[in-house]
Chains A and B, each alone.
Chain A
Amino acid sequence: MLISSLELENFKVFHGPNRISIGQGPGNVVVVQGDNGRGKSTIMEAVFWCLYGKEKRHDRLVPTQYPSIVNNTARKEGHNFARVRVAFEHDGRRVEVERSVRARPHMPNPTRKSDFDEELHFRVDGRDLGADNSLLYEMFPEDVASFFFFDGETISRYAEAQERNRETVEKAVGLPYLRQAREDIEKVRKDFEKDLRDVQSSPETEKTESDLKELRGKAVELVTRLNEQESALEGLNTDIRQHQRNLEEFDDLRGIQQRIQELEDFSRELDREELSMQSSEEVFRSELPWLVLGKFVRGAVETVGKVKEQAVQERIEQGRLLDQIEFMKDLKGSGTCICGTSMDADGMARIDEALVKLESALGTIQVIETDRYSWTQSDLTTAMGKARSVEEEARGVHGLEAKRRYLDDNRFRAERALERENESLRAHSAQNLREKEVFDRLTQLTKEKAVVQSKLEEVRDALNVTRRQVAELERQLEISFSKKSSASRAILESISRANRALKAFDEIVDRSAEQKRAEIEVRSSKIYTSITNKPKEFIGLSIDPQSFEVKVRAEGGDLVESRKLSDGERHVMALSFLGGLKDATHEGTLIMDSPFGRLDQTHKTRLIEKIPDLAQNVVLLVTDEDLRPDDWKSLAGVQRRFMLDHDQHQKFSRIQEVN
């Protein structure tokens, strides 16, 4: 904050408009000089009141007291109005803060705060932000202002260990900016964590999961029902198959019964055949004598046949014998052997002998022939015819016998088959159920099966529908999970990045604080060593990293307790600390009210010499006693000089620039 002008109108001791201008060089020191009670400290109060709406009393900022803020003379003149305006530059911005109070209309003697209207105008680069001076607090917090607009009477307090000091110093070096950024990162990280929770538990997904759970439950229920129906169907199928088998057994029974019937019909047919057979046998028995006769006839015929055949053979033999006899006779008559030689007696004898034998044989044959041919040919023919008739009868007998065998055989087989069929019938009698009952039951079972199948199909359809729905929901969930997973990964990465940034900021804050502390320590020490009258004994200042307590560092490095220092030494120490702090912040206006109060002349002189270096601009509020003629010689860089003129009669002051 580099103050360029300060205007006070009717503010406390100051009557009418008053102005302190702080221009650009040459010199950077503005001296406002006035005796005690003329308004030096009021100038400091005016700055605090204008900027923060508070008054500074004994190093503390307290709420403004009304109506004492309005100059008494002005009030008496009827001007119940006070105004302070501070113009400054900050980070390249032109800022004006103007605060005023005015008694409300028809309030001739205002005594309470409520009798006044307070008005604030905060202008940045010509833009009036009205009463919104939040930016001011970011630019120049009131705690920091206390360090740069200070009262020399209480300056020693700034070197004491106070938590407020640390906080204020941190503000002065800008650490709250970093802390604010850290807080913002923390906030963003929490937002990310909330986003993550939202992503992981989105209402749509929860509803899908709920629906899916419900559908899965329904599917399980349907599967149970399906199993029940399938089990019922299986039971019905078993019953139906059993009843169908029963019906098939009825078919078997009917077959057996039919076959039995056929066999019984066949038996009756055999019986009829039997009767026919018996009739035929009766006829046969009546013809039996003929049949017996026939046997003899047949024997006779055979004999006749054999005889006839034998006779033929014998005729042939007879012929041969006759031929031989004729030959022999011819041979005997010729007397010549067949070899052409004359036959002797012996030969002749032999021929005779042969002739005897041949004629004997021929005689035998002729006898036999005579016997055999005692029957006549007609007898033979008749016998043969009768024999043939008997043969035919015999063949009828054979037919009867064959038929008898056929009958006997079939009757046997029919009886055996009937026995088998009856046996089967008896075997089936164990399941001899009434067919109608079985059929009715089968019909009922078939109907029940149809019902169960219908239910089964119904349940199966419902199950298929449910399974499709489950699949669809699972697909949706999979997509959702995929999206969630992707989103979660991205958010987790952001959280991780935020965590790393937080750690980085923590380290930045710590290291920056330490760096600033060290810098302030170095700059304060430099100022201190240039002011102290014991530069060899005290080699600098030490600022505690934790408490920010300022101590003097003695030669050898030992730290000197503040209570062991004189008031003046403590004063120099505090001034050096504030100067170092200001120096470390590189810019701004330093307003010092009575900074020499506790200093001996040596310290005072050195401080006066150092004043231009303490800040970019320095406003020095001093009494005539504070700056004696010799002191003015030591004070370099005076840009402007103002005097506080005081009207003893009217009891008000005015600020007059001294050329």
Chain B
Amino acid sequence: MPQKLVDPAILAEVSRKHKVSEEMLFKMVTAEKAIPVRTQRLKEFKRLLGGED
């Protein structure tokens, strides 16, 4: 699979448009690779969306 899943420019633009943290979006985009186990990934997503980061 491609190393660069999402163009950073798209990420930055979409982040601004939808008022979502770019860092959070990046973590979510790369979560599939960074956290292979889904339960842990969901936990991380919940933490991110819960505003803990």
A residues adjacent to B (C-beta < 8 A): 90-91, 135, 138-140, 172-174, 177-178, 180-181, 184-185, 187-189, 191-192, 490, 493-494, 497-498, 500-501, 503-505, 507-508, 511-512, 515, 584-587
* Pick from A139, A188, A504: contact of B20, CB under 8 Å: A504
Q: List 19 A-B contacts (CB under 8 A).
A: A90-B1, A177-B29, A177-B32, A178-B5, A178-B29, A180-B32, A184-B41, A188-B46, A191-B42, A493-B51, A494-B51, A498-B49, A501-B18, A504-B15, A504-B18, A508-B14, A511-B10, A511-B14, A587-B3
Chain B residues positioned under 8 Å from A584 (CB to CB): 2
A500 touches B18 (CB 8 A): yes
Closest 4 CB pairs of A and B: A504-B18, A177-B32, A188-B45, A174-B1
B50 → A minimal CB distance (Å): 5
> What does DSSP make chain B's interface, helix, strand, loop or mixed?
helix
Chain A residues positioned under 8 Å from B42 (CB to CB): 184, 187-188, 191
| A587 to B1 alpha-carbon distance, docked (Å) | 8
| A444 to B25 alpha-carbon distance, docked (Å) | 86
Q: Using a CB-CB cutoff of 8 Å, which residues 4-25 of chain B contact chain A?
A: 5-7, 10-11, 14-15, 17-20, 24-25
Chain A residues positioned under 8 Å from B31 (CB to CB): 181, 184
B29 touches A181 (CB 8 A): yes
Q: Using a CB-CB cutoff of 8 Å, which residues 25-53 of chain B contact chain A?
A: 25, 28-29, 31-33, 36, 38, 41-42, 45-46, 49-51
B residues adjacent to A (C-beta < 8 A): 1-3, 5-7, 10-11, 14-15, 17-20, 24-25, 28-29, 31-33, 36, 38, 41-42, 45-46, 49-51
A138 touches B32 (CB 8 A): yes
| A185 to B3 alpha-carbon distance, docked (Å) | 22
| A511 to B29 alpha-carbon distance, docked (Å) | 14
A508 touches B3 (CB 8 A): no
| A505 to B11 alpha-carbon distance, docked (Å) | 9
- Residue of A at shortest CB range from B41? A184
Chain A residues positioned under 8 Å from B49 (CB to CB): 185, 188-189, 192, 494, 497-498, 501
A505 touches B50 (CB 8 A): no
| A490 to B50 alpha-carbon distance, docked (Å) | 8
| A140 to B2 alpha-carbon distance, docked (Å) | 11
* Contact of A501 with B1 at beta-carbon distance under 8 Å, contacts A180-B32, A184-B38, A494-B49 already known: no
Chain A residues positioned under 8 Å from B46 (CB to CB): 188, 191-192
B1 touches A91 (CB 8 A): yes
Chain B residues positioned under 8 Å from A189 (CB to CB): 49
| A172 to B17 alpha-carbon distance, docked (Å) | 27
B28 touches A505 (CB 8 A): yes
Residue of A191, A493, A511 ringed by the most chain B CB atoms within 10 A: A511
B19 → A minimal CB distance (Å): 6
| A184 to B46 alpha-carbon distance, docked (Å) | 9
| A586 to B18 alpha-carbon distance, docked (Å) | 30
* Pick from A135, A138, A174, A191: contact of B2, CB under 8 Å: A174
* Contact of A91 with B32 at beta-carbon distance under 8 Å, contacts A191-B46, A497-B49, A508-B14 already known: no
A430 → B minimal CB distance (Å): 88
- A138-B36, A505-B25 given; 20 more Cβ-contact pairs under 8 Å: A91-B1, A140-B1, A174-B5, A177-B1, A177-B32, A180-B32, A181-B32, A184-B31, A185-B49, A187-B42, A498-B49, A501-B49, A503-B18, A508-B6, A508-B11, A511-B10, A512-B6, A512-B10, A585-B2, A586-B2
* Contact of A139 with B51 at beta-carbon distance under 8 Å, contacts A178-B6, A181-B31, A512-B7 already known: no
B25 touches A501 (CB 8 A): yes
* Contact of A504 with B14 at beta-carbon distance under 8 Å, contacts A178-B29, A497-B49 already known: yes
* Contact of A515 with B10 at beta-carbon distance under 8 Å, contacts A177-B33, A504-B18 already known: yes
B3 touches A586 (CB 8 A): yes
| A490 to B20 alpha-carbon distance, docked (Å) | 16
| A188 to B46 alpha-carbon distance, docked (Å) | 6
- Residue of B at shortest CB range from A585? B2
| A290 to B28 alpha-carbon distance, docked (Å) | 152
A501 touches B24 (CB 8 A): yes
Chain B residues positioned under 8 Å from A512 (CB to CB): 5-7, 10
| A507 to B36 alpha-carbon distance, docked (Å) | 24
| A348 to B49 alpha-carbon distance, docked (Å) | 171
B5 touches A504 (CB 8 A): no
| A508 to B8 alpha-carbon distance, docked (Å) | 10
B28 touches A185 (CB 8 A): yes
B4 → A minimal CB distance (Å): 8
B45 touches A504 (CB 8 A): no
A73 → B minimal CB distance (Å): 40
B15 → A minimal CB distance (Å): 7
Chain B residues positioned under 8 Å from A177 (CB to CB): 1, 5, 29, 32-33
- Residue of A at shortest CB range from B24? A501
| A187 to B14 alpha-carbon distance, docked (Å) | 21
| A245 to B2 alpha-carbon distance, docked (Å) | 107
Chain B residues positioned under 8 Å from A192 (CB to CB): 46, 49-50
Chain A residues positioned under 8 Å from B24 (CB to CB): 501
- Residue of A at shortest CB range from B36? A135
B35 → A minimal CB distance (Å): 10
- Residue of B at shortest CB range from A172? B1
Residue of B5, B11, B24 ringed by the most chain A CB atoms within 10 A: B5
B18 → A minimal CB distance (Å): 4
| A139 to B45 alpha-carbon distance, docked (Å) | 22
Chain B residues positioned under 8 Å from A501 (CB to CB): 18, 20, 24-25, 28, 49
